[in-house]
Structure 1
Amino acid sequence: MTEQPIRQRAATEEKSGSRRDTTRPPVPEPLPHPVADNHCHLDIGDGDGAFSTSDAIRAAAEVNVTRIVQVGCDLPGARWAVQAAQEYDVLLAAIALHPNEAPRLAAAGTLDAAIAEIEELAGHERVRAIGETGLDYFRTGPDGIAAQHDSFRRHIDLAKRLDKTLMIHDRDAHDDVIRILDEEGTPQRWVMHCFSGDADFARQCLDRGAHLSFAGTVTFKNADPLREALALAPADRILVETDAPFLTPTPWRGRPNASYLIPHTVRTMAQVRGADLGELCAAIDANTTAVYGSW
């Protein structure tokens, strides 16, 4: 694959009515042990200074973030993720239809065809996860919930049939995510991407075999319930991610996120857990391999 410009999509999660600062934050101190960014969108740009794929990978390596899971959450993104994972050894791909895509595709009568293409792409060896799939009640109204449930169930089935890790997006939908997982049965490996629950919800997920992936949100001032969940999770069930270009960790919240900023999140995670930073990095690195296999 030749180098492609990053696809542009508005980074709306943290924008306000005022003009947002899209300059890149400075490079943090490197981590003492390699870790992986377990969820990144290299194909989604943020501002005029958006990284190219190769530059994003290079910047991450400088701070010891040496592996990245590239997530494609619509058909163009899924196709791109597979191509990128073939081109760059440090990337693996996760592909699915984001829950907010499902109602749109269902309304257009193309959901079946889209899931069929996801299944075809997922057969590639560099695709290690079906995700991000799940439920999102923040952006989808009641009319779209049935389509989200249908899409989620079909992605769960796909992950089990293909022996791929299931990567779940859950926004304002904890109870229904657990209910559908219980009804369908969980795959052998599954991840709560950008875990957003409290300690009780963490226990429910962990009891069902989940890995919990923590993003920059764990550094936010109002995230005490999330930090309580992190504190109770076993060391062998913890992952770290950016969800870049979204969810930039403190102290750079609101600026463009990228894999090279993961050290801020991991250092907060170590503080919350009272853990040695190097030992936590090593655990995260081993957990990533256990979930996604060897790069």
Structure 2
Amino acid sequence: MSRRSRPAPPDPEPLSPLIDAHTHLAACGGRDPESVRAILDHAQRVGVEAVVTVADDMVDARWAVSAADWDDRAYAAVALHPTHAAELDDAAKSELEQMLTHPRVVAVGETGLDWYWLDRSADCATREQQIEAFRWHIDLSKRIGKPLMIHNRDADRDLLDVLADEGAPETVIMHCFSGDAGIARECVDRGYHLSFSGTVTFANATALQAAALVVPDEQILVETDAPFLTAHPFRGHPNQSYCLPYTARRLAELRSTDAESFGRIVTSNARHVYRLALPN
């Protein structure tokens, strides 16, 4: 059964406050003010007070900026996903730079390296194209002064080496962190923030769960990456920001802390990292 044909998960027990550090509103159906409002109203009912909606390509980037204008609970991140790196021509660079001057565009992302799709998709950018685009996005993040949001799939060492070679921006977010405890320690030592999605709740995610224990309170974030990566026991079902408490509660359990305290920690971190103008 495909993800779209499976039922949406039931509402989790509310946990407030929370911020979804990475979602894709357009891919969740949020392509006009009314549908964005409905998604965010649903999320708010279970304690998710704001989201950062993220772009994969230029079309998504325009949707993300629009969503941030339509609803004050939505913020945007814009970049070209590494699989789309071949599309980073001068026109795309100019448009992304302009988008990042928008006050509600809070990060450069998602960018990075994706070796998983190299041999699986004829449309995937090459290694060389991905690395070149990643270097450009790193420089853009430093010039603009906004956080760099990283996509990494099967490219741990190469990605960390490029970041070291270029010199990382002040704030780096490892979106949907998927490494082991060793990679997590290296990222923590470099001062990066690690964001965990529903994958950390999966039954076979023991290495990732060990990595989640390495991250200090001040460097951890939580996200949905919706409509993908729905938390256990709803793996494979459609995801939205309202599902975030499932992942937050599991992370709190893993880290031997109460869910309410953990929620306050990750919310404070997201507000600080993205410089969100939200009421206390």
| TM category, shorter | over 0.9
What is the aligned counterpart of 2:24 among 29, 35, 41? 41
User: Structure 1 length as normaliser, TM-score?
Assistant: 0.88
Aligned to 2:199: 217
- For residues 51 and 81 of structure 2, the distance between their equivalents in structure 1, rounded to whole angstroms, comes to 19
Q: Map 1:232-271 to 2 at 5 A.
A: 232-271=214-253
- For residues 243 and 116 of structure 1, the distance between their equivalents in structure 2, rounded to whole angstroms, comes to 27
- For residues 264 and 2 of structure 2, the distance between their equivalents in structure 1, rounded to whole angstroms, comes to 39
Aligned to 1:27: 11
Is the 2:83–2:125 Cα contact (8 Å) retained in structure 1? Answer: no
Aligned to 2:54: 71
Identify if the C-alpha distance between structure 1 residues 260 and 45 changes in structure 2 by more than 3 Å, giving closer, same or farther: closer
Secondary structure class of the residue paired with 2:126:
helix
- For residues 58 and 140 of structure 1, the distance between their equivalents in structure 2, rounded to whole angstroms, comes to 38
Aligned to 2:259: 277
Is the 1:35–1:285 Cα contact (8 Å) retained in structure 2? Answer: yes
Aligned to 1:112: 90
Q: Deviation per CA, 1:261-287: give whole Å up to 9, x if none.
A: 111101110110001111111100110
1:159 aligns with 2:137: no
- For residues 94 and 60 of structure 2, the distance between their equivalents in structure 1, rounded to whole angstroms, comes to 15
Per the TM alignment, residue 73 of structure 1 is displaced from its structure 2 partner at its CA by 1.7
Aligned to 1:95: 78
User: Structure 2 length as normaliser, TM-score?
Assistant: 0.92
Q: Where do 5+ consecutive residues of structure 1 fail to align?
A: 1-17
Secondary structure class of the residue paired with 1:196:
coil
Q: Which amino acid aligns with 1:284?
A: V
Is the 2:148–2:173 Cα contact (8 Å) retained in structure 1? Answer: yes
Per the TM alignment, residue 116 of structure 1 is displaced from its structure 2 partner at its CA by 2.0
- For residues 144 and 56 of structure 2, the distance between their equivalents in structure 1, rounded to whole angstroms, comes to 18
1:188 aligns with 2:166: no
Q: Percent identity?
A: 47
Per the TM alignment, residue 231 of structure 1 is displaced from its structure 2 partner at its CA by 0.8
CA RMSD across the alignment: 1.5
- For residues 225 and 53 of structure 1, the distance between their equivalents in structure 2, rounded to whole angstroms, comes to 35
- For residues 37 and 212 of structure 2, the distance between their equivalents in structure 1, rounded to whole angstroms, comes to 32
Aligned to 2:117: 139
Moved over 6 A (4+): none
Aligned to 1:52: 35
Is the 1:102–1:111 Cα contact (8 Å) retained in structure 2? Answer: no
Per the TM alignment, residue 19 of structure 1 is displaced from its structure 2 partner at its CA by 4.4
Identify if the C-alpha distance between structure 1 residues 143 and 258 changes in structure 2 by more than 3 Å, giving closer, same or farther: closer
- For residues 66 and 265 of structure 1, the distance between their equivalents in structure 2, rounded to whole angstroms, comes to 16
- For residues 250 and 143 of structure 1, the distance between their equivalents in structure 2, rounded to whole angstroms, comes to 32
Secondary structure class of the residue paired with 1:186:
coil
- For residues 222 and 68 of structure 1, the distance between their equivalents in structure 2, rounded to whole angstroms, comes to 28
Q: Which amino acid aligns with 2:223?
A: E
Per the TM alignment, residue 22 of structure 1 is displaced from its structure 2 partner at its CA by 3.0
Per the TM alignment, residue 82 of structure 1 is displaced from its structure 2 partner at its CA by 1.0
Per the TM alignment, residue 45 of structure 1 is displaced from its structure 2 partner at its CA by 3.7
Secondary structure class of the residue paired with 1:115:
helix
- For residues 86 and 143 of structure 1, the distance between their equivalents in structure 2, rounded to whole angstroms, comes to 31
Aligned to 1:81: 64
Secondary structure class of the residue paired with 1:100:
helix
Is the 1:97–1:115 Cα contact (8 Å) retained in structure 2? Answer: no
- For residues 73 and 125 of structure 2, the distance between their equivalents in structure 1, rounded to whole angstroms, comes to 40
- For residues 143 and 130 of structure 1, the distance between their equivalents in structure 2, rounded to whole angstroms, comes to 19
Aligned to 2:271: 289
Per the TM alignment, residue 178 of structure 1 is displaced from its structure 2 partner at its CA by 0.4
Secondary structure class of the residue paired with 1:114:
helix
- For residues 94 and 112 of structure 2, the distance between their equivalents in structure 1, rounded to whole angstroms, comes to 17
What is the aligned counterpart of 2:187 among 205, 209, 230? 205
Q: Deviation per CA, 1:98-152: give whole Å up to 9, x if none.
A: 000013x2xxxx6232122111111111111000000001112497000000000
Identify if the C-alpha distance between structure 1 residues 272 and 58 changes in structure 2 by more than 3 Å, giving closer, same or farther: same
- For residues 125 and 200 of structure 2, the distance between their equivalents in structure 1, rounded to whole angstroms, comes to 32
Is the 1:132–1:169 Cα contact (8 Å) retained in structure 2? Answer: yes
